[in-house]
Structure 1
Amino acid sequence: MALKDVVAGTRNEEGIAAVVGILKQRFGERFQTGQSFREQHSHTTSYLPAQLPDGVVFVETAEDVKAVVKVCAAHRVPMIPFGTGSSLEGHVNAPSGGISLDFSRMNKVISVNAEDLDCTVEPGVTREDLNTYLRDTGLFFPIDPGANASIGGMASTRASGTNAVRYGTMKDNVLALTVVTADGEEIRTAQRARKSSAGYDLTRLFVGAEGTLGIITSVTLRLQGIPAKIGSGVCAFPSLKAACDAVIMTIQLGIPVARIELLDEMQMKAVNAYSQLSYAEKPTLFVEFHGTEETVALQAEQFKEIAAEFGADEFQYTANAEERAQLWKARHNAYWAGRALAPELNGLSTDVCVPISRLAECVAETQADIRDSGILATIVGHAGDGNFHVLLLFNDKDPAEIARTEAFMARLNARALAMEGTCTGEHGVGQGKMSYLEQELGSALPVMRSIKKSLDPDNIFNPGKIFRL
């Protein structure tokens, strides 16, 4: 993240005043301009400064969304979609003011097609609520970014998470969208068929666009059958390199691991303290296998042999549901566990992703950089696809510490790009990574800008995100 990317845009005061008046009359109590509402809808889980919208509208239907878009488009007023506010890169900030569209009330499961392994939901449905709804069907939605994010937000940021190594990311699991475009009309990007050669892939265009091209009103998702057997395990290694090398061999040998998560020594110290556990405070892999009784047992044995080859401690395996839940709850709480190491400090969570063959090198260099910089930080990663996160703890009131933290961030991103990786594997660009995206895809940005200007000529869809116009 870089503070220099969080700039205030030009405000259309006359247009904003007109839109606020119209929306108050149109939506009544579902439109709020109070300070607390506006602050809640500019929340970023980061040290980026909040930039408040001028009003918040709680939309309940696609017709509501179309009405808001038409009003805002007529007066050239920005709109910022809001799911649960769990994004990390300033995605829901309003640098030019405008209207926040809260989707928490658009939370219906529209249809489930069990025979076709798909469903269609409104964007405000959360990941956990969807899986609770699906439980009796024997199906589940596998994308798990950790936070109980909304499906619309996950599609907008092209989210992934712990299961991505087996089930892919949102780009692999969204079959179709309905989207309200700048003219206030709703389009459908595809049908429910599993594949198509018909026209441009508009679904993939909007997935990951971070709300800058249109506003999602429904999402059609791929589903998976709940595995007959699930097994999980924990294994500590003598070094981060050894743990990463074990991951690389596991993937290269084609073992269909469902999750394989990396936690460094400091993160394991934090996990033990926060979740009251007693794991070895060494570089550690959390793994999970999905399949039948026989295939899960085979996969676990194969991984155990690989881990031993790289000097690992005893592989602690369990198929007990409660023990597995405890393990993955500890992993999902890694951010808060890291923050608890120094509650007086602020936290900056960032991610990069590199080709799997470069993971060990990139993580080892990053850990050395943390040590040499004197920064308190933890490393945790979705190691199976080369994606890892660094949580940096620092005093955000001290300019020297901010400068040191941002300098580390610049080196981390440069390191990932030099290894043919990306500045973000799943957090998205938002405001915080615009300068790094320019380094990564510089010659492609004019093409992105032309798409943006074509679909959003007045720059009213989540302006000030991804790149500068």
Structure 2
Amino acid sequence: MEATSVGLVKALKEVLSESQVTENLTVRELHGRDESYHATSLPDIVVFPETTLQVSEVVKVASIHKVPVVPFGLGSSLEGHVIPYQHGITIDFSLMNKVLEVRGDDFLVKVQPGVTRSQLNKELKKYGLFFSVDPGADATLGGMAATNASGTTSVKYGVMRDQVRDLEVVLADGSIIHTGNLAAKSSSGYHLNGLFVGSEGTLGCFTELTLRVYGIPEHIMAARASFPSLNDAVEGVVSILQAGIPIARVELVDEPSMKQVNLHSDTSYNEGPTLFLEFHGNEAGLKQDVAFTKEIVAEHNCLDIEFETDNAARNRLWEARHNLAYAYIHGHPGKKLMVTDVCLPISELSGAIHHARETVDSLGLTGGIVGHVGDGNYHILLMIDNENKEEVGRAKQLNEQIVLYALERNGTCTGEHGVGVGKQKYQKQEHGESLLVMEKIKKALDPDNLLNPSKIFMQEGE
């Protein structure tokens, strides 16, 4: 759509109030990018619905006018998911941000898609509960479900797909469906939760989510362990997992990244390859887990390991890890952050990280390696000058090399960030003939290709 149709705007204002529909350039610019390095592109119109019915009516209007629709949470995605390259309508879910119901006895909560992770956990704390998925960014739960987000706690609690019990979804024709129920398990019909979680807005717009929550652990202990080499650190993780220790978080931070941590967070941590760990459980069980962990990391040449039980100290530790991306950004003014994301079998992780570090150095790029190594997922935080085409080219070359390394070892091109536009070209290699099945599902549910077009699947001519 090259120019906004007067009829389209009028139709939208008939189903929403005038204040919920805007063509304001500043607002459109805010919805034309995410936190990635991908090129910006503006929607023609941004709408702010408050109810499922309003979302349905917006989608019906878009269907009649054959205009693309892109769902938008907070724009914290990293592969261009919310950038409307075909323009059209962006649906901003910021006004649909209510925690609708807490079912404490069922360990379930029902929320609207605009609720953020921190907002939900603040509410759940009153009930002695918490939501486990922690991607670092304070993303919306709708966006997290759309990309099948995971993060630091997935090694113990699982990824976003494991937490979704039911979704309310507005389909391309404006109809409203539910993908599940409140039961803990079901053998009835196709697993629609699994289909829609991770679909990145290409199959429907999420308007309600029913999610699994957990009791706040009786005791939590964090630790920081430094090692002489990346190999020692990764092998230490493998041994911890093989020993069956129910670790809640285990994060790898390499030497350059630890230097950025200290500069940004005003800490004085050892500037070598480091594991950030966290244990959840009861007091007696944690003592045994900690003692066993000390023995294991010692066998892998651990230089020192420090434990934190004080809540403030634990928070400082994890804030340092979560703020690492911003530490790189602030430490390299004028450059843009590019974050890679691959996941491999645990047995292949050590080799993959060595390959990644060698590739970063050989290409003369600036970056550090971090990862949710308990599930084989690692990232390279690259600082690049977007105006320097040669440097951007080297960064893309790096990304391609580590993706191909992962795929050759039966891994995936994206462990948690999603496909968006950045990982489209690897879908055929990763999925083979299964990609045709995905394309048929997309065609069946969205025959006019109006829901977040140009994402996941390569378009004709690309």
Q: Normalization by structure 1: what TM-score?
A: 0.96
Q: What's the secondary structure of 1:258's corresponding residue? A: strand
Aligned to 2:141, which of 144, 147, 151? 151
| Structure 2 partner of 1:331 | 321
- Determine if contact 2:169/2:206 at 8 Å carries over to the other structure: yes
| Structure 1 partner of 2:9 | 20
Aligned to 2:354, which of 364, 368, 373? 364
| Structure 2 partner of 1:8 | none
* TM alignment of 1:393-432, pairs within 5 A: 393-432=383-422
- Distance (whole Å) between structure 2 residues aligned to residue 96 and residue 306 of structure 1: 53
- Distance (whole Å) between structure 2 residues aligned to residue 58 and residue 301 of structure 1: 52
- Distance (whole Å) between structure 2 residues aligned to residue 300 and residue 117 of structure 1: 28
* TM alignment of 1:72-221, pairs within 5 A: 72-221=62-211
| Structure 1 partner of 2:218 | 228
- Distance (whole Å) between structure 2 residues aligned to residue 47 and residue 227 of structure 1: 38
- Determine if contact 2:157/2:248 at 8 Å carries over to the other structure: yes
How much does 1:136 deviate?
Answer: 1.3
- Determine if contact 1:270/1:340 at 8 Å carries over to the other structure: no
Q: Residues 329-381 of structure 1: CA distance to partner in whole angstroms, max 9, x if unpaired?
A: 11110101122331122210121000011111100111111111111111110
- Distance (whole Å) between structure 1 residues aligned to residue 310 and residue 424 of structure 2: 44
Q: What's the secondary structure of 2:125's corresponding residue? A: helix
- Determine if contact 2:81/2:455 at 8 Å carries over to the other structure: yes
- Structure 1 spans left out of the alignment, 5+ residues: 1-10
- Determine if contact 2:3/2:44 at 8 Å carries over to the other structure: no
- Distance (whole Å) between structure 2 residues aligned to residue 107 and residue 399 of structure 1: 40
Where has structure 1 moved over 6 Å in runs of 4 or more? none
How much does 1:468 deviate?
Answer: 2.2
- Determine if contact 1:12/1:76 at 8 Å carries over to the other structure: no
Letter of the 1:94 counterpart: P
- Distance (whole Å) between structure 2 residues aligned to residue 146 and residue 278 of structure 1: 22
Letter of the 1:186 counterpart: I
Aligned to 2:338, which of 332, 348, 354? 348
- Distance (whole Å) between structure 1 residues aligned to residue 10 and residue 395 of structure 2: 43
| Structure 2 partner of 1:389 | 379
- Distance (whole Å) between structure 2 residues aligned to residue 226 and residue 365 of structure 1: 39
- Distance (whole Å) between structure 2 residues aligned to residue 205 and residue 436 of structure 1: 20
* TM alignment of 1:59-78, pairs within 5 A: 59-78=49-68
How much does 1:440 deviate?
Answer: 1.2
Paired residues, number: 458
Letter of the 1:346 counterpart: K
| Structure 2 partner of 1:6 | none
Greater shift, 430-439 or 347-356, is seen at 430-439
Q: Residues 294-325 of structure 1: CA distance to partner in whole angstroms, max 9, x if unpaired?
A: 11121122111111111111210011100000
- Distance (whole Å) between structure 1 residues aligned to residue 337 and residue 109 of structure 2: 37
Aligned to 1:58, which of 48, 54, 57? 48
Letter of the 1:308 counterpart: A
Q: Percent identity?
A: 47
Q: Residues 408-440 of structure 1: CA distance to partner in whole angstroms, max 9, x if unpaired?
A: 111010011112110100000001110122321
Letter of the 1:367 counterpart: R
Letter of the 2:220 counterpart: I
1:286 matched to 2:276? The reply is: yes
Q: Residues 69-127 of structure 1: CA distance to partner in whole angstroms, max 9, x if unpaired?
A: 11001111111001111001001111111111111111111111111111111111110
Q: What's the secondary structure of 1:191's corresponding residue? A: coil
- Distance (whole Å) between structure 2 residues aligned to residue 339 and residue 266 of structure 1: 14
| Structure 2 partner of 1:310 | 300
Distance 1:12 1:443, change over 3 A: farther
- Distance (whole Å) between structure 2 residues aligned to residue 423 and residue 336 of structure 1: 24
Letter of the 1:391 counterpart: L
| Structure 1 partner of 2:443 | 453
RMSD, aligned α-carbons: 1.1
Q: Normalization by structure 2: what TM-score?
A: 0.97
- Distance (whole Å) between structure 1 residues aligned to residue 452 and residue 290 of structure 2: 45
- Determine if contact 1:27/1:57 at 8 Å carries over to the other structure: no
- Determine if contact 2:150/2:158 at 8 Å carries over to the other structure: yes
How much does 1:17 deviate?
Answer: 4.5
